[in-house]
Structure 1
Amino acid sequence: MSARSTSAERAPVDDRTPQHFDLAIIGTGSGNSLVTPDWEGKRVAIIESGTFGGTCLNVGCIPTKMFVYPAEIATAALESSRYGVDAHVEGVRWRDIRDRIFGRIDPISEGGKRYRMVGRNTTTFLGRAAFTGPRELEVALNDGGSVRLTADQVVVATGSHPVLPALVREAGVPFHTSDTVMRIDDLPPRLLIVGGGYIAAEFAHVFAGLGVDVTLVVRGERILRHLDGDVSRRFTEAAVRQWDVRLGTEVCALRASDVGEGLVDAHLSDGSDVEGALLLVCTGREPSVADLDLPVAGIAQHADGRVAVDEYGRTNVEGVWALGDVSSDYQLKHVANHEARIVAHNLVHRDDLRPVDERFVPAAVFTRPQIATVGATQEELDAAGTGYRVKVQEYADVAYGWAMEDTVGFCKVLAAPDGRLLGVHVMGHEASIVLQSAVLPMKLGLTAEEVARGQMWIHPALPEVLENALLGVVDPEN
């Protein structure tokens, strides 16, 4: 039986003799899942400088989707008259929504921390880690003091954090990011969002759905420019109909408004001025590496700061690994979880390494309309000179789309001349559910015909939009 763990508060402080561990994990998002039964009877250090549980649980995927759902309910009620149903929204109890969400999430985070504090084999250090050499760390503890560690193996899983443009940092005006905006006490009457990526698109939907006037300042000519061109163009058209969207525009100056406390005036590159009762900065996320002192350990990084790893999750330094947003091409929780499963195996099977397989990574944007995508975009195929067939199937042309009176949804399938699926892109109601049926066939190398005709599709369910798109690339005449 192994000894019980110790917490950071009980760990020696300011002791210059390093404590040695079999494994040290920096970050408690997906890195927290690395403590498998393989480590029974061994010593594992877990280091966390922020909220236990990482981005997804506390400020990312989970709480944002819990806000998206009530926004969907409110929006559906406001649009119900098109179906002969007269409904309205009497009010939105923001604090009730917020407290319901974090009343569930916060205990999970706290419970995870308590479990690691008293769980087997683990010593938890609440503080910020920095490398002092290969597999050598110093942790500045949150409650004062520091502790030095060495480990046979180290995993860097520190995630990412919001990017703050210099203009915002230096303006001295109040602002929020995705890390803070979900905790506000009251809904603002007007929200100014800077950014045109998936975080901006999701929060625009959340706040507009709950009755806030939303202005989106987007530097490019389209929102979600990284997606397939048809998706980006058609989503931008839908966004303009819902929100005040300023395309091809940048914020040139910010100042506190003279009208009221907390208000922000933004001067835009098109010469206009926009006022917001709350400023939300959604200009991307970057890997959290600044305080790690990676060069001291000789750990290589990409130009954008990400930790460089090979297909097995190894850095260039023997015994040091990395996973998740700090190293991945994808800032997606399901990717980080996949990488964590691979690294968990590789940590204890050094002679039987498994590679990370990120050939077909699905992703979704929970905005309005919802978007989901996997594989190559049409633009990427064109740039690579790859031959393909393409079919765009409208939601409006399948029976469930008729039921919804849908006017915006579509499914786009890109397939190689031999029928193998190269990319699938969906925009519309429950796009993430529709798309999922395409992910496994892509991984298995099935053709569009095998997927479309090799199974029965429930009629008249919404996935028929994918079935018909697949059939469209099999037989373009139909």
Structure 2
Amino acid sequence: MLHYDLVVLGMGSGNMLFGDELAHLRSAAVEPGPFGGTCLNRGCIPSKMLVVTADAVVDAREAARLGVHATVEPVDWRAVRDRVFGRIDPLHESAVSFRRESGVDVYTDAARFVAPKVVQVGSEQLSAEAIVVAVGSRPVIPDIPGLDTVPYHTSDTIMRIDEMPESLVVIGGGFIAAEFGHVFDAFGARVTIIQHRPRLLMAEDEQVSARFTELASRRHRVLLDTEVTSVARRGDGVAVTVRGPQGEQVVEAEAMLVCVGRRPNTDRLDVAAGGLDLDSDGHIATDAACRTSVPGVWALGDVANHFQLKHRANAEVRLVRHNLVHPDDIRSLGTKAVPHAVFTHPQIASVGLTEQEARRSGIDHLVSVHDYADAAYGWALEDTTSFVKILANPADRTLLGAHIIGPQAATLIQPLIQAMTLGRNIDDVARDVLYIHPALTEVVEQALLAL
């Protein structure tokens, strides 16, 4: 058995743990796949590179409202794809070489626990004073009759296809469906989205979800309150049998994307042998300091938290690094303001409570909704559908939540995230800060002033 000071399982966010502060430790990195994990190789980064291209296409097609009459030639899918992965794919080998040159032993087999703080990696057993589990998550494959007999894609594979399909059926109505629906529609595919619930993006504020569903339905065929009952081959494509408000029907498409959620990779670790407790959803149970039920074993990222957000995992990496270096000064990570964004068209960003959550929990709240169209830059954009929505506590005047749907939503929400995190009074944020005129941030200012 090989003994280490530190063993890190998973080189997505886990790869960020190594640095000068831990360079004195005998360390090992375990990763059977490409370094960078989901975010770099099959998630956030390549999908956003595709989204940027799709945004350019849609902006050109919609420029007529500004008096610009533009056309878009057929998108060169292979050139787009190769630009993305031509930058990403070479990073794995350079990352492995860098880690080895910095003194970290790198193992490229999968790991599983055989005892507390002992893992089997290929033919080797590794023990460690500290183990950090950061093995991520993977797409859920639903139990749909016939699914195992037809070709289909998940978010892991859809971005690497060789040819742009003429038609795509998407099973699922969450953020992955919203982003890839935008991308493939922009690139020329006819998109059908099948959602078993009454709106798309049901996790968003109801007003945002309803607006996005309305806008997406203008671009795609959207089937709501619709269940998939079976799938089968149909020529070179698929036939999806569904049951919804219009009864039973068959949706045919050249390609199919399944995106109904993600699951933590704990089932591949034999966590029971490692003595690790799981929560009811199969994530490794941790406290606010990312400690597990086994002293000396830490967990972070999708395998442990429910956010499925890289920026949350990055914060956890910084926390765990501190706690490894300073065991007498253990810090915790709060969950007060964990923002997220959906990089679809239009963009969506959110932090804190939705209005329906506030109502459901009986929390007193004030609400302000301000349209982009009522701000000068909204005029310039000729925007008629975007808005900022803010919820505040009427007693102490602090922010409870913020939700934006529209251009640059993920950027516009940042001052509200900071105000919420720092506990700033909404009146101070509205009146004591100068917002550049006529920048789009005036929409945020006006929404705050309305409270």
> TM-score w.r.t. structure 1 length?
0.92
**SS of aligned partner of 1:340:** helix
Q: Which amino acid aligns with 1:127?
A: D
Residues 55-107 of structure 1: CA distance to partner in whole angstroms, max 9, x if unpaired? 11111110000000110111111111111111000120000000001111112
Per the alignment, residue 86 of structure 2 pairs with: 103
Percent identity among equivalent residues? 47
Q: How many Å separate the matches in 2 of 1:393 and 1:199? A: 27
Q: Are positions 1:435 and 2:401 aligned together? A: no
Output the amino acid matched with 1:350: P
SS in 1 for 2:351: strand
Give 1:27's aligned residue.
10
**How far is 1:119 from its partner?**
2.3
- For 1:5, the equivalent position in structure 2 comes to none
Query: Which residue of 1 is the match for residue 443 of structure 2?
Result: 465
Once residues 63 and 239 of structure 2 are traced to their aligned partners in structure 1, the CA distance between those partners, rounded to angstroms, is: 35
Q: Which of residues 92, 116, 120 in structure 2 aligns to 1:138?
A: 120
Quote the offset at 1:38 in angstroms.
2.5
Could you tell me which residue of structure 2 aligns to residue 335 of structure 1?
312
Could you list the per-position Cα deviations for residues 239-283 of structure 1 after superposition, in whole angstroms to 9, with x for gaps in the alignment?
A: 1111100000011110000xx32x000000131110111100011
Matched residues in 2 for 1:44 and 1:386: separation?
48
User: Which of residues 216, 219, 242 in structure 2 aligns to 1:268?
Assistant: 242
User: What CA distance in whole angstroms lies between the structure 2 residues aligned with 1:51 and 1:462?
Assistant: 39
**CA-CA distance at 1:168 after TM superposition:** 6.4
Name the residue aligned to 1:80: 63
**2:447 equivalent to 1:447:** no
- Given that 2:289 and 2:331 are in contact with CA atoms closer than 8 Å, whether structure 1 keeps it comes out as yes
- Residue 410 of structure 2: SS of its match in structure 1? helix
Asked if 1:62 corresponds to 2:45, the answer is yes
Secondary structure at the counterpart of residue 289 of structure 1: helix
Whole-Å Cα distance in 2 between the matches of residues 444 and 436 of structure 1? 12
- Corresponding residue of 1:90: 73
Instruction: State the distance in 2 between where 1:51 and 1:364 align.
Output: 25
* Residue of structure 2 equivalent to 1:412: 389
Which residue of 24, 30, 34 maps to 1:47? 30
| Deviation (angstroms), 1:110 | 2.5
- After superposition, residues 369-408 of structure 1 pair within 5 angstroms as 369-408=346-385
SS in 1 for 2:128: strand
> Map of 1:6-25 to 2, 5 A cutoff?
18-25=1-8
Aligned residue type for 2:36: G
- Secondary structure, counterpart of 2:281 in structure 1: coil
* Greater alpha carbon shift after TM alignment, 188-197 vs 234-243: 234-243
- Write the distance in 2 (CA, Å) between the matches of 1:304 and 1:102: 33
Superposed, 1:9-408 pairs within 5 Å as 18-116=1-99, 118-140=100-122, 146-167=123-144, 170-257=147-234, 260-261=235-236, 263-270=237-244, 271-408=248-385
Q: Distance between the aligned counterparts of 1:137 and 1:443, measured in 2?
A: 38
2:196 partner amino acid: R
CA contact (8 A) 2:369 2:387 kept: yes
Q: Is the 8 A contact 2:276 2:294 kept in 1?
A: yes
State the alpha-carbon separation in 2 of the partners of residues 153 and 164 from structure 1. Answer: 33
SS of 1:296's equivalent?
A: coil
Matched letter for residue 240 of structure 2: A
Q: State whether residues 145 and 229 of structure 2, in contact with CA within 8 Å, keep that contact through their aligned partners in structure 1.
A: no
Query: What's the CA shift for 1:170?
Result: 4.6
CA distance in 2, matches of 1:121, 1:166: 45
Query: Residue 456 of structure 1 aligns with which residue?
Result: 434
Whether the 8 Å CA contact 2:146–2:231 is kept in 1: the answer is: no
Give the secondary structure class of the aligned counterpart of 1:403. Answer: helix
The AA in structure 1 aligned to 2:112 is A
**Post-superposition CA distance 1:36-63 (Å, at most 9, x none):** 2222232111000212111111111100
Residue by residue over 1:193-243, the C-alpha shift from the partner in whole angstroms, topping out at 9 and shown as x without a partner, is 000000110000011111111000001001111111111111111111111
2:408 paired with 1:425? no
CA distance in 1, matches of 2:204, 2:109: 38
Q: List per-residue Cα deviations over 1:307-335 (Å, max 9, x = no partner).
A: 00001000011111000000012100000
The CA deviation string for residues 110-141 of structure 1, in whole angstroms up to 9 with x for no partner, is: 3112212x22231000011000111001012x
Query: Any gaps of 5 or more consecutive residues in structure 2?
Result: none
Distance apart, 1:464 and its partner CA: 0.7
SS in 2 for 1:23: strand
Cα contact 1:339–1:356 (8 A) shared by 2: yes
Q: Is the 8 A contact 1:41 1:121 kept in 2?
A: no
Q: Which moved more, 1:34-43 or 1:324-333?
A: 34-43
Which region of structure 1 is more displaced relative to structure 2, 381-390 or 299-308?
381-390
